Structure 1
Amino acid sequence: MKNRPKMLTFLERSKSNEPGSSKSPERMNKTTIDPTRSIGMRLFLYFFLVIVVSVSCVGFLSYDRSRQLIETQVEDAKRLTAVQAADKMELVLQQYEDTSLEIMLLPEIAELSTSYRLYPDDIMRQLEVRRELETRLNTYTFSDSSIASVHLLSLDDVMPSMSIGGPTPSDISEAPWFQAALQNDGKGVWIPSTADGPSGTLTSVAFGYARVIKDQGTFNASYVYLMELRESRLQEVVAGALGEGARMYLLDASGNVVSSDDKAEIGTPFAIPLQGDSAALEETIEGQEMLIAHSQLTGGWRLVGVQPFAPLVAGTQTIWNVTIGMLVAGIVAAIVIGFMVARQIGTPLRRMSGLMKQAEGGDLAVQSPYAKRRDEIGTLATGFNEMLANIRALVEDSHASVRDVMSTAEELGEASRRTATSAKEIAIATEQIAIGASNVAVEAEKVTDVTSDMGSKMATTVQANEHMASAAADIRESSRQGAEYMRELSEKTAETEQLTVSMVSKVEELQKSTASIRDILALLNNITKQTNILSLNATIEAARAGEAGRGFMVVADEIRKLADQSKQSIETVATITDRIRSEIEETVGLMGRAYPLFQEQIASVKQSNEIFLSVNDRMAEFTTQLDAVSDAVLQLETTQRTLSEAMSSVSAVAEESSATTEEVASLSTDQLQVGESLVGLAGRLEDVSKRLRDTLNKFRL
């Protein structure tokens, strides 16, 4: 019976090959294959796509990686160049700062202050001193052409203002750089470039450097020194630092342009905000990719170089050309290889497909001409020829088998009819036995259901008692643990109380220590005041001594500065000490309020401990009573289980008898059905044998 579907399929295919069928052998042999869907075209496309995609991916990835590597190296090189140019700029600016320090310490300036303050009526001496100072200042301006002018701007009505290289400016006391120089108290201030210089008296773009000069006699600020420098000097320092086509900028701390080869940009904000000490980054400016390398100077100024990015990575165009060449070569190789593969594989497969169509139409005498090849195509052709030889042998054997099957089918039909008659008689007898066994089983099942219901209710009662006992035990254990935890909490609270008392004592001692520190600071403050008075007296004596006391005057000035610094430090320490003392007093007050709370906490912990102990005792009594109830329920459950087992045995015997009878009846019915099926199958087998014989006669061997 398992071979029946295959046999029917074979016969249906045989019927479809008849002359009247739409799929006749002649029509199948004329079936054509779409060239665009053939295996040869697919292999050609696969090879073409694999080679082209592989070459494209490798080439483009190599180009992209090479470009990124070159860009990274260029950015690092330009960043280092910017750092080196910034160091060079630092040296130049430092030279100007050193020059200003030398001018600030010129003895002619001290002599000028002495002549105007101590000898206000000696006009000749004052003119001589001014002439000597102007000569010294001219020496600096003549030795460095980048110094446009030098100004000594007086801060009072006694000392005169002086200017070298330009007129003395007026009304500049409100200028931001002038106020910044006064606030820095002797430290230098770099002034950004302007069209007429910081003084407003020049005819060219200049930046400047300003600092306060103090009178060596009174140590008060007497002059503001202003050195104006030509902005072109900055461009000379960094010219060509980043290479051809680069533009160099010097920015102040606010990001405004101090120096540029385009004078119109000076004083304007730089187009791109910059962060960090030094870096190199790509930015698009006016539609063009630019490389920006910058480095920060010590005073907050920043040196920036801007250069077009395209010339720096021009070498990557060669890599791009090589990549395109490799891609073209890969496409040509893919076409050649794909065509060869399609010719060696696709053509034989198409011819083999045609031979299979002929064999499908019934011509089993065809042979493949590719059996002599030593590759997979040859193996396929050899297998095809052997398959057709086996099919021919199978058809010849099938002719003999059909004759045997037809005679066997006639004998099987007669035996099946006799078997069906016997099966009907057996089925009637077994049905009557099954009815009686079923009635006994039904009654036994009713009794079993009653006992099972009773057992389930007893089991529920036992489980409820067990849950109650477990819950009572858990509550008792929790009460015991709660009592233990409350005892430990009481001990910890007592220890906390002792630590609080000890802490209050330590804080009071610390409060006394801060008072002692305050007394010591007052003593140090008095010593500082006396030192300051002594340094002032030493300065006055040094001024009276004239040239011989100049060195001692410097020492006295340093002592006075140290005294001022000591005074500031003592005041700072005193402020911190007062703050600590105030916080200690607040801490003492807080601890005093916290102590009664600790006392109340200890009392609450003791009451909670007593409650937990009482709950533990009550739960012990409840557990004892619950155990007694559980024992009684268990005895009742044992009695019910015995009754249930007895009824289950009766029911099992009845069900077994009924099942056996039903099984016999079922077997009888199945046997009857099998007999009837055998009769029908015998008839169909005879018909199939005849059709198979007619079909085999159509094959050409």
Structure 2
Amino acid sequence: MLGTLRFKIIVPITILTALVIICISTLVYNQTASTLESQGRATAELTRISFENALTARKTAEDIMNKEMIGQATMTSLLMKKGTNFNEITDLAKRAGIDEFWITDATGKTVLTNVGPAVHLDFSAEPGSQAYAFMDLISGKQKEMSQAAQVRNFDGQVFKYVGVPGWNEPRIVQVGRKGQMLTELDNQIGASPLLARIKSQLSDQIVLAALINKDGKVVAASEKSFSQIPPALSTLMNQASSTTTIKEKSDYYQNKKVTYYAASLSNGQKMVVAISNEVLTRIFTLSIASVLIGIVLVIAFLIWLVSRTLRPLHVMEQSLLMLADGKGDLTKRLPDNTNDEIGRTARAFNQMLDHIQQLIRQIQQSSVQVAASSEQLTASAEQTRSASEQIASIVQELAAQSEQQTKDMETGAHDVQNISKGMEGISQTTGSILDTIGVTVTKATEGNNAIHQAVTQMNSINETMATLAKGVQTLADRSNQINEIIEVITGISAQTNLLALNAAIEAARAGEHGRGFAIVSDEVRKLAEQSAHSAQKIAELVSGIQQETAQTVQFMTTAISEVQEGITVIHTAGLSFTEIEQAIRQVEQQTAKATHAVQTIQDRSRHAVASIQTAHDLIEQAASRTEQISAATEEQLATFEETSASAASLSRMAGDLEASVKKFVV
């Protein structure tokens, strides 16, 4: 069943049809989903715009009322400055639509109100109360105050109050209005009626619309059962709080598949809209049903169509089986009475049978001739094989001789190449020696020049040392002269000291008249002692200089002697370097001649190697051709053997063919 033609036709077409239907259904589902998503976003955006417009409208209405009440309080403050009374202010409140007004003194106590002539209210009595906040108007902290509409504690009514200070004195002028208009405004554009209208007017697919405050609590919802945010929507609410774009999430609401859309409003609150996905569920169910029904219909139609189309082919199959069971009866033919592809195939097969019938007849006639020819071919092949064996033996002997000559030539060429390589090594060695000798000559010349320079430098040093020795000797003579001068100074100091002593004695004899002379003689004595002390130090320094000068003279004499010996040694080394340089130059000339001789031998060795290589190549070519001839002879011999075997096989095949074709009925 799996290998039938019917199966091969029905299964691919069924699979292709199913894939097409699935692709179309998927495309419709995705397109619908995309459309619903766009519609959902548009609905959510429209809902957000509606909320924003409602917030703007309510805030605008409250601002207008607030400005109107501020104006009324300001006019009342001016009227209070000019002077008024209960009746006048009450009549003004009725005409201006003021529900209440309260006017206090500088302490916050009521002095005038339209509630009654004897009503007294102290605004400062209860700190933290609704009235106490207006005390900032008296203290000057506020220029005007406005409170949102709220429920009063004592009567439960909704009132909105605004206040201004006195015109030119500290007081509170407060105007109150009932919050009925704001309540009516909330009933018209508030959160609850707006959500109800959104659900009923925007789309039938809206399952839920709700308003969430900053604390995450439900302010208003179109469904009373939606009193708090499900945990699954907490993440969506957090995402909506951190961006201005609309966020979405698929989930369930009351067992219904919905998509939640959330967005943040300008006042910090958030709105959420749930749109049903029942349409997608129905489309998905219909798509699956359509695919299954389409596949069943296609399979049924294909079975009917293929069975009807392949009926002539089944007839042909039965006819071919009958022909096969006929054991070589080529006289039977297939039915070809149709004009479709199967009929044309049957006619072509019948024509093929006609050709095969003619071919079998020709084979029967040729098989006898082939058997006779194969026997003759076998005899000829045997004779040719014997001749080829003799030729192959001669060619193998020639090939063996050529191979021996090739080995001898290779040995000679190898020896000559070794000689050539040895001469190349000698040539390279002598070249290296020449290079080394050249470097040695250069270094010897540089060394000789350096020795000459060293001799010159040593002579210069000798002269400098001699000059320095003379200078040191002169310094020693000068030191002796300084020593003599110091001795003279020492003698003068001693005489001066003696004279100062005599002068002191004489001054003592003179008494009071010789006191000044005594002072002078004492100073002279001190100078003489200082001079003797300084002369002593100079004498010590000069003595040290003389000792060091004597040592320097001794060292200079030794240095001069050593420099002279160095000059002699360097001069002798210079003569040795000159002799070495001349000997190296002679070695260089002899090495150059040896290198030239080695180069000549190397060139001749290369020519010999080339000649031997040429002869070797010729012998190898001859040996190669001999091997080719031998191989060709062997191939020819093998061919003849194969021909003989083929002839015998052909003879057997001709017999078998003749026996086989006799089975066919022609």
Matched, 1:689 2:654: yes
Write the deviation string for residues 616-652 of structure 1: whole angstroms up to 9, x where unpaired: xxxxxxxxxxxxxxxx9xx99x979877765543332
Aligned residue for 1:543? none
**Alpha-carbon deviation of 1:382?**
1.2
**Alpha-carbon deviation of 1:241?**
2.3
Q: How many residues align?
A: 456
- Unaligned stretches of 5+ in structure 1? 1-34, 142-149, 179-183, 462-631
Q: Is the 8 A contact 2:144 2:164 kept in 1?
A: no
Aligned residue for 1:47? 13
Paired residue for 1:234, among 168, 185, 191? Answer: 191
Matched position secondary structure for 1:61 = helix
Q: Which has the larger radius of gyration?
A: 2
- TM-score scaled to structure 2, two decimals? 0.54
The CA distance in 1 between the partners of 2:103 and 2:226, in whole Å, is 30
The CA distance in 1 between the partners of 2:51 and 2:219, in whole Å, is 16
The CA distance in 2 between the partners of 1:661 and 1:356, in whole Å, is 63
Matched, 1:670 2:635: yes
Q: Is the 8 A contact 1:280 1:293 kept in 2?
A: yes
Matched, 1:66 2:32: yes
CA separation of 1:237 and 1:389: change in aligned 2, threshold 3 A: closer
CA separation of 1:659 and 1:36: change in aligned 2, threshold 3 A: closer
CA separation of 1:355 and 1:135: change in aligned 2, threshold 3 A: same
Q: Is the 8 A contact 1:134 1:164 kept in 2?
A: yes
Aligned residue identity for 1:345: L
Paired residue for 1:419, among 372, 384, 389? Answer: 384
**Alpha-carbon deviation of 1:39?**
0.8
Matched, 1:290 2:247: no
Aligned residue for 1:699? 664
Write the deviation string for residues 252-295 of structure 1: whole angstroms up to 9, x where unpaired: 44554444467897897985412544637453244433354556
Write the deviation string for residues 137-180 of structure 1: whole angstroms up to 9, x where unpaired: 97479xxxxxxxx9x999x9758899999x99966599xx99xx
Aligned residue for 1:300? 268
Q: Is the 8 A contact 1:48 1:338 kept in 2?
A: no
**Alpha-carbon deviation of 1:695?**
1.3
**Alpha-carbon deviation of 1:81?**
4.3
Paired residue for 1:250, among 180, 201, 211? Answer: 211
Write the deviation string for residues 392-445 of structure 1: whole angstroms up to 9, x where unpaired: 111111111111111111111111111111111111111111122223333555
Aligned residue identity for 1:240: R
Q: Is the 8 A contact 2:328 2:664 kept in 1?
A: yes
Aligned residue for 2:507? none
CA separation of 1:159 and 1:449: change in aligned 2, threshold 3 A: farther
Aligned residue for 1:441? 406
Q: Is the 8 A contact 1:90 1:298 kept in 2?
A: no
CA separation of 1:396 and 1:676: change in aligned 2, threshold 3 A: same
The CA distance in 1 between the partners of 2:303 and 2:107, in whole Å, is 100
Aligned residue identity for 2:665: R
The CA distance in 2 between the partners of 1:162 and 1:686, in whole Å, is 150
Matched, 1:364 2:330: yes
Matched, 1:381 2:338: no
Aligned residue for 1:352? 317
Identical pairs, percent: 16
**Alpha-carbon deviation of 1:688?**
1.6
**Alpha-carbon deviation of 1:377?**
0.9
Aligned residue for 1:680? 645
Matched position secondary structure for 1:366 = coil
Q: What's the Cα RMSD here? A: 5.7
The CA distance in 2 between the partners of 1:223 and 1:44, in whole Å, is 93
Note the 1:131-142 alignment, pairs <5 A: 139=98
Q: Is the 8 A contact 2:98 2:176 kept in 1?
A: no
**Alpha-carbon deviation of 1:216?**
8.1
Note the 1:542-691 alignment, pairs <5 A: 646=611, 648-691=613-656
Q: Is the 8 A contact 1:430 1:661 kept in 2?
A: yes
- TM-score scaled to structure 1, two decimals? 0.51
The CA distance in 1 between the partners of 2:177 and 2:417, in whole Å, is 117
CA separation of 1:129 and 1:54: change in aligned 2, threshold 3 A: same
Matched position secondary structure for 2:273 = strand
Matched position secondary structure for 1:373 = coil
The CA distance in 2 between the partners of 1:222 and 1:400, in whole Å, is 142
The CA distance in 1 between the partners of 2:147 and 2:619, in whole Å, is 116
Paired residue for 2:368, among 397, 403, 418? Answer: 403
Aligned residue identity for 2:197: G
**Alpha-carbon deviation of 1:102?**
3.3
Note the 1:77-476 alignment, pairs <5 A: 77-108=43-74, 111=77, 139=98, 158=108, 172=128, 233-243=190-200, 247-253=208-214, 255-260=216-221, 271=234, 272-273=236-237, 274=240, 276-277=243-244, 279=246, 281-286=248-253, 287-293=255-261, 296-302=264-270, 304-310=271-277, 313=279, 317=282, 324=289, 328=293, 331-345=296-310, 347-349=312-314, 351-352=316-317, 355=320, 358-359=323-324, 361-369=327-335, 371-445=336-410, 447=413
Aligned residue identity for 2:372: S
Q: Is the 8 A contact 1:47 1:338 kept in 2?
A: no
CA separation of 1:437 and 1:414: change in aligned 2, threshold 3 A: same
The CA distance in 2 between the partners of 1:429 and 1:688, in whole Å, is 37
Q: Is the 8 A contact 1:40 1:346 kept in 2?
A: no
CA separation of 1:405 and 1:378: change in aligned 2, threshold 3 A: same
Write the deviation string for residues 583-640 of structure 1: whole angstroms up to 9, x where unpaired: xxxxxxxxxxxxxxxxxxxxxxxxxxxxxxxxxxxxxxxxxxxxxxxxx9xx99x979
The CA distance in 1 between the partners of 2:193 and 2:93, in whole Å, is 28
Q: Is the 8 A contact 1:44 1:342 kept in 2?
A: no
Q: Is the 8 A contact 1:79 1:279 kept in 2?
A: yes
The CA distance in 1 between the partners of 2:147 and 2:31, in whole Å, is 45
CA separation of 1:241 and 1:258: change in aligned 2, threshold 3 A: same
CA separation of 1:263 and 1:684: change in aligned 2, threshold 3 A: closer
**Alpha-carbon deviation of 1:454?**
6.7
Aligned residue for 2:545? none
The CA distance in 1 between the partners of 2:410 and 2:92, in whole Å, is 134
